[in-house]
Amino acid sequence: MKMAALCSEFGDLVQIKKQLISVISLCKERGLLHSAKWASELAFALDRLPKDELPPSPPFTEDDAQDLDALTLAKSYFDLKEYDRAAYFLKGCCSQKAYFLYMYSRYLSGEKKKDDETVDSLGPLEKGQVRNEALRELRVELSKKHIAGELDGFTLYLYGVVLRKLDLLKEAVEVFVEAIHSLPLHWGAWLELSNLVTNIEMLKSLSLPDCWIKDFFMAHMYTELQMIKEALQKYQNLIEAGFSKSTYIISQIAVAYHNIRDIDQALALFNELREQDPYRIDNMDTFSNLLYVKSMKPELSYLAHNLVEIDKYRVETCCVIGNYYSLRSQHEKAALYFQRALKLNPRCLGAWTLMGHEYMEMKNTSAAIQAYRHAIEVNKRDYRAWYGLGQTYEILKMPFYCLYYYRKAHQLRPNDSRMLVALGESYEKLSQQVEAKKCYWRAYSVGDVEKMALLKLAKLHEQLNESDDAAQCYMLYIQDIFSCGEQLEHAEVSTALRYLGQYYFKNKLYDEASLCAQRCCDYNDAREEGKALLRQISQVRDQIETPSADLFAPLSNNNTPVRRVSPLNLISFTP
């Protein structure tokens, strides 16, 4: 096709801009609003073209001229959501554009009727049965044309959508790939395809056109598949290539940072986004999640009020308000707003999970379980819901039962330390120390967010009388805590220092022991013990120094265990 030929090298921003401008008009003519929006946003981020550089409008064929009146009429009906009427006047038109609009109106008409009928279907069980009746007819007609090879990029996209709605996923993937090949600039087709790709192997097996838009798709896919590092790299490349002003990319990067819980980065990006695009509502629920995690009440309150002013009947707005109330510990109201979000869009994923969290706060475990289950029904891969279910059962004191749920969550997020720590805790409660140790160690290895895994591991070793391992873990813990720089509320440095002091003392490493003991004195809860240890050390030193100093050196060499912990250098980290 013509468009495929236009796909040139990535670097040429002017070319890209030209392509975008032409595809915007194509999408608009066909009523594909979201794709037009995406392309327009991207085009806006690029530099303005001089007047003579603007791409010419596509050539006007004989078919187009013939259908012009009918098409104009139908398009205006279509814009007013009178789909059946539009379809009626388009019947018999022969141009590709008219044909697409004709089929698309029929499809949308079916969808609209389906939504209307869900409200008063004949019975509750029939709800799932309500179907877009037009789908099957559309499929028959489109498949005939498809076999004949008469479909253009847009109609192929529509055919793919129809197939997907009919749950014929394999065929749908093939058709979407075909649609992308014939019209690579149509973002809607890429987006539909991304919903059907379930794993990285499948992604690799797809043969995609080599176009600059593919990079956007890959970055989007990596984010979906939780391969955040790769996604960020892709987005960074795109920014460097000249898309630095694109709000789309900024929001995507912010979401990616949110997914790996790099909160500060994400917050900064969202703030930037709001400066550039103050009336934006998309992705604001993610922003509110971040504010919530950081307990930034005033900012969250401002955001909530601002969004209500823009549009209070948006799912995102309701989620933001829910978060706002939740942060103010008004959990009933929070649950109410999440419910409202669900009424606006029952397939809204986050709201079910968040509502579950609210019920958990209200100690209404059974309702929480229901909410989480609903979330899982909407999306089986929602790890937060699985994790929430695990937590619920943990609260109900069923550590074995919750293992299943934590395991599920862990499967979905193999590199998230929180699931691993939760798994470890459950195993510890079941006195399966070996498994617990493995979990904690793994949690530390994948990068512990809450800095708790090492402490727990150390305590476990302490319980099992594996003092060398325990000391090593405490040491790593202290280094970890001080290296991250910020103050953590639950930090138990004093516990670690106390244990290390005793450990060195037992192994007759008095210098290190006294260092630890001195450090202990910095903390209120360990001060007395630190002082006592210092006294003991000085006593023992007095005793040793009386016989001979020479004796001490060989003794200490022989008596220390083989896996001796290297002496602690605390001077560089001051608490």
Partner 1 sequence: MMTNGVVHANVFGIKDWVTPYKISVLALLYDMTATKITLPERRRLNKLILPLQQGPDLTLGQFLKTVEECCPQAAYAVKLRLHEMADGELKDMEYFFSTLPTPFTAFDSEAYKTSVVGLFMRHMLLAYNKLSFSQVYKLYKSLQHYYHSHYAKPADGQDTVGDRMDKEELDGPLHESELRGPLSQKQAEYFLARQAYLLKNDENKALKPAALQEELNNMLKFNPDFAEAHYLNYLNSMRVQDIFLSAHSLLHYFDRLILSGNEGKSNGDEGYGRSLRYAALNLASLHCRFGHYQQADLALQEAIRIAQESNDHVCLQHCLSWLYTLEQMRGSDSTVLTEDSVKMAAHFCLPYLASLGIQSLVQQGATQGKTAHKLMDALKDTDILHWKHSLSELIEISLAQTTSIWRMYGKSTMALQQAQLLLNMSSLEPVNFGVQQNNTEAFAVALCHLAELHAEQGLYSAVSEILLHLKEQFPPHSQHAKLWMLCDLKIQFERHMNEGKYHLAEPLVTAISALNKTEGLYRKAQVLKALNRSTEAYSILQRLQAHCEKTKCTEVVIRVMLSTAELHWESSGFSTALPLLLQALALARQHHLQSLASESILHLAFTQLMLGVPEQALSVLHEAIEPVLAHGSVMDKGRALLLTARCQMAVAGFRPNGHGRAGTNLHLAVLAVDTLKEATAYFSKLSCKERLRDVHFLQAQLHHALGQTSQRNKSAMLFRLLDQELQSPAPPVSMRL
Could you tell me the smallest distance in angstroms from the CB atom of residue 370 to partner 1? Answer: 5
Q: Name 126's Cβ contacts closer than 8 Å, sequence gap at least 6.
A: none
Instruction: Confirm if 556 and 509 have CB atoms less than 8 A apart.
Output: yes
Q: What's the start-to-end Cα distance of the chain, in Å?
A: 66
Instruction: Confirm if 224 and 255 have CB atoms less than 8 A apart.
Output: no
Q: How far apart are CA 302 and CA 405, in angstroms?
A: 36
Q: Using CB under 8 A, which residues numbered 486 to 545 contact partner 1?
A: none
Q: How far apart are CA 399 and CA 167, in angstroms?
A: 38
Q: 280 or 373, CB closer to partner 1?
A: 373
Interface stretch with partner 1, choices 113-121, 502-510, 511-519, 552-560 (CB under 8 A): 113-121
| Out of 49, 196, 241, 367, the residue judged to bind partner 1 by CB under 8 A | 367
The reply on whether position 301 binds partner 1 by CB under 8 A is: no
Instruction: Confirm if 433 and 406 have CB atoms less than 8 A apart.
Output: no
Could you tell me the smallest distance in angstroms from the CB atom of residue 88 to partner 1? Answer: 20
| Out of 359, 383, 406, 499, the residue judged to bind partner 1 by CB under 8 A | 359
| Out of 56, 59, 124, 298, the residue judged to bind partner 1 by CB under 8 A | 124
Q: 126 or 545, CB closer to partner 1?
A: 126
The token duo for 574 is 């001051």
The reply on whether position 127 binds partner 1 by CB under 8 A is: yes
Distance of CA 198 to the CA centre of its chain: 15
Interface stretch with partner 1, choices 194-202, 363-371, 515-523, 530-538 (CB under 8 A): 363-371
Distance of CA 148 to the CA centre of its chain: 42
Number of residues that bind partner 1 (CB under 8 A): 41
Could you tell me the smallest distance in angstroms from the CB atom of residue 566 to partner 1? Answer: 39
Under DSSP, the state recorded for 199 is S
Q: Name 478's Cβ contacts closer than 8 Å, sequence gap at least 6.
A: 493, 496, 497, 500, 568, 570, 573
Could you tell me the smallest distance in angstroms from the CB atom of residue 422 to partner 1? Answer: 16
The reply on whether position 298 binds partner 1 by CB under 8 A is: no
Could you tell me the smallest distance in angstroms from the CB atom of residue 143 to partner 1? Answer: 7
| Out of 97, 139, 384, 498, the residue judged to bind partner 1 by CB under 8 A | 139
The reply on whether position 151 binds partner 1 by CB under 8 A is: no
Interface stretch with partner 1, choices 154-162, 200-208, 399-407, 464-472 (CB under 8 A): 399-407
Q: 221 or 389, CB closer to partner 1?
A: 389
Could you tell me the smallest distance in angstroms from the CB atom of residue 300 to partner 1? Answer: 23
The reply on whether position 259 binds partner 1 by CB under 8 A is: no
The reply on whether position 553 binds partner 1 by CB under 8 A is: no
| Out of 59, 62, 129, 487, the residue judged to bind partner 1 by CB under 8 A | 129
Task: Lay out the site mask for partner 1 across 408-447 (x = CB under 8 A, - = otherwise).
Answer: ----------------------x-x---------------
| Out of 123, 149, 485, 554, the residue judged to bind partner 1 by CB under 8 A | 123
| Out of 40, 364, 518, 560, the residue judged to bind partner 1 by CB under 8 A | 364
Instruction: Confirm if 419 and 406 have CB atoms less than 8 A apart.
Output: yes
Instruction: Confirm if 151 and 1 have CB atoms less than 8 A apart.
Output: no
Instruction: Confirm if 169 and 196 have CB atoms less than 8 A apart.
Output: yes
Long-range CB contacts for residues 337-341, cutoff 8 Å, separation at least 24 = 341/315
The reply on whether position 404 binds partner 1 by CB under 8 A is: yes
Q: 163 or 228, CB closer to partner 1?
A: 163
Q: 113 or 261, CB closer to partner 1?
A: 113
Residue 419's Cβ-side half-sphere holds a number of Cα atoms within 13 Å equal to 22
Q: Name 432's Cβ contacts closer than 8 Å, sequence gap at least 6.
A: none
Q: What beta strand segments (E) does 405-526 contain?
A: none
Q: 40 or 432, CB closer to partner 1?
A: 432
Q: C-alpha angle with apex 306: 300 to 308, nearest 5 degrees?
A: 105
| Out of 146, 373, 438, 451, the residue judged to bind partner 1 by CB under 8 A | 373
Long-range CB contacts for residues 332-337, cutoff 8 Å, separation at least 24 = 332/362, 334/358, 335/359, 335/362
Q: Of 146, 145, 189, 198, nearest to 170 (Cα)?
A: 198
Q: Of 212, 222, 166, nearest to 187 (Cα)?
A: 212
The reply on whether position 92 binds partner 1 by CB under 8 A is: no
| Out of 342, 421, 481, 516, the residue judged to bind partner 1 by CB under 8 A | 342
Instruction: Confirm if 523 and 493 have CB atoms less than 8 A apart.
Output: yes
Q: How far apart are CA 377 and CA 380, in angstroms?
A: 6
Burial of 363 (0-12, 13-18, 19+ CB in 10 A): exposed
With b meaning 16 or more CB within 10 Å and e meaning fewer, what string describes 437-476? Answer: bbbbbbbbebebeebbbbbbbbbbbbeeeebebbbbbbbb
Could you tell me the smallest distance in angstroms from the CB atom of residue 357 to partner 1? Answer: 13
Could you tell me the smallest distance in angstroms from the CB atom of residue 543 to partner 1? Answer: 50
The reply on whether position 371 binds partner 1 by CB under 8 A is: yes
| Out of 366, 445, 539, 569, the residue judged to bind partner 1 by CB under 8 A | 366
Could you tell me the smallest distance in angstroms from the CB atom of residue 326 to partner 1? Answer: 15
The token duo for 258 is 């949110």
The reply on whether position 121 binds partner 1 by CB under 8 A is: yes
Could you tell me the smallest distance in angstroms from the CB atom of residue 426 to partner 1? Answer: 10
The reply on whether position 349 binds partner 1 by CB under 8 A is: no
Instruction: Confirm if 444 and 469 have CB atoms less than 8 A apart.
Output: no
Interface stretch with partner 1, choices 102-110, 122-130, 202-210, 270-278 (CB under 8 A): 122-130
Cα dihedral across residues 558, 562, 565, 567: positive or negative: positive
Q: Using CB under 8 A, which residues numbered 166 to 195 contact partner 1?
A: 166
Instruction: Confirm if 255 and 225 have CB atoms less than 8 A apart.
Output: no
Interface stretch with partner 1, choices 42-50, 96-104, 394-402, 551-559 (CB under 8 A): 394-402
Binding site for partner 1 (CB under 8 A): 117, 120-129, 136, 139-140, 143-144, 166, 335, 339, 342, 359, 364, 366-367, 369-371, 373-374, 377, 389, 396-401, 404-405, 430, 432
